Amino acid sequence: MQRIAELGKQAAAPDLWSDPQAAQRTMRELARLREEVESFDVICSRAADARELAELGDEGLHEELAVETDQLTLAVEQLDLRSMLSGPYDREDVILAIHAGAGGTDAQDWAEMVQRMYLRWAESRQFDTEVFSTTEGEEAGIKSVTLAISGEYAYGYLRSERGVHRLVRLSPFDAAHRRHTSFALVEAWPDVSGPVEVEIKESDLQIDRFRAAGAGGQHVQKNETAIRITHQPTGITVSCQSERSQKQNLESAMKVLRARLLAMEQEKQEAEVAALKGVHVDAGWGNQIRSYVLHPYQMVKDHRTNWEMGNATAVLDGRLDEFMDAYLRAVGP
């Protein structure tokens, strides 16, 4: 409530809109906090009403009270889960990158399946999505893709998906139809809308312009609208070719670079803290988080939480909430 009062004073200031971006951040945070308080108050009110009805002892109300109890339980569980999304960037949008790993054509096909899985998950939540860049596979699938998913708590949920995802199936690309194992790496960075302590010097950037190419090397544009930015101090390279204008691609590429530099700084700080605690930090490819088995049986299992589901088809269609919920409850806020 104290934070709401502070933001309310800022929102009432006559010079609020002298800085439009800061004003939007203030109004957005104020609206979110008010919505959270209102949701909590509504649940408390409903619980009090249900208690009064129960105290009446009317047997005719048992069925109605049972339904209301189930609904209140679900609402409280959702609020409890929201409390786990209390990281500094959990409310932000997310930039997601997917890379094919070991497994050749099967891995590239798997990477495209992973992309579809997250797009379907975002669609189920009515989140907006935008593909920044895609590198097509030689025969099928994709080598890598970078996309943005915009929606409340998008990063908070999808940070649980970072790591290596393994697929076991009968390969559609093997003439003998043998079982193959493929890997895809998922990376997630917060797309921070407000000011962050990430300094990007123009002198540190190498910006290359080239023609956007589609599958088979066909040019989407005759002009050099695609952008590749190399941040020379870190070696990070990002590219964007989804937009028709060079300016839009440059803005999108800078957005991805900003998010990756922020994530790098976060990882550095976390590694320093972990080292002080004597904990080994491994951010390499060996950090397999989940297996998707399609043959000889169907099973998806998260190795961090041991949460598993037999309906692999539903998971690949975007049913990920149970896995995210289990992860968030395991690691805590």
CATH 3.30.160.20 domain extents, the chain: 202-277
DSSP 12-73: H-TTGGGSHHHHHHHHHHHHHHHHHHHHHHHHHHHHHHHHHHHHHT-GGGHHHHHHHHHHHH
pLDDT in tens, 29-79: 788 778 778 888 888 888 888 888 888 877 777 888 888 888 888 888 777
Hey, how many other C-beta atoms are within 10 angstroms of the C-beta on 166? 20
> Does 122 score more than 60 pLDDT?
yes
- CATH 3.30.160.20 is right for the domain spanning 202-277: yes
CATH 3.30.70.1660 domain extents, the chain: 93-194+287-331
Q: What is the mean pLDDT of residues 13-32?
A: 81
CA–chain centroid gap for 138, Å, is 27
Which tokens is 312 given?
A: 């692999």
- What amino acid occupies position 161? E
- Give the chain's mean pLDDT: 84
Q: Are strands 179-191 and 163-170 parallel, antiparallel or unpaired?
A: antiparallel
CATH of domain 93-194+287-331: 3.30.70.1660
Task: Determine the Cα–Cα distance for residues 238 and 90; give it in Å rounded to an integer.
Answer: 23
pLDDT in tens, 140-165: 999 999 999 998 889 999 999 999 99
Task: Determine the Cα–Cα distance for residues 33 and 14; give it in Å rounded to an integer.
Answer: 22
pLDDT at res. 287: 64
**Range picked from 91-95, 103-107, 314-318 for highest mean pLDDT:** 314-318
pLDDT at res. 278: 45
pLDDT in tens, 247-297: 888 988 888 998 889 888 877 766 764 554 344 333 335 568 999 999 989
Beta strands in 119-260 (DSSP E): 128-136, 142-150, 163-170, 179-191, 205-210, 226-231, 236-240
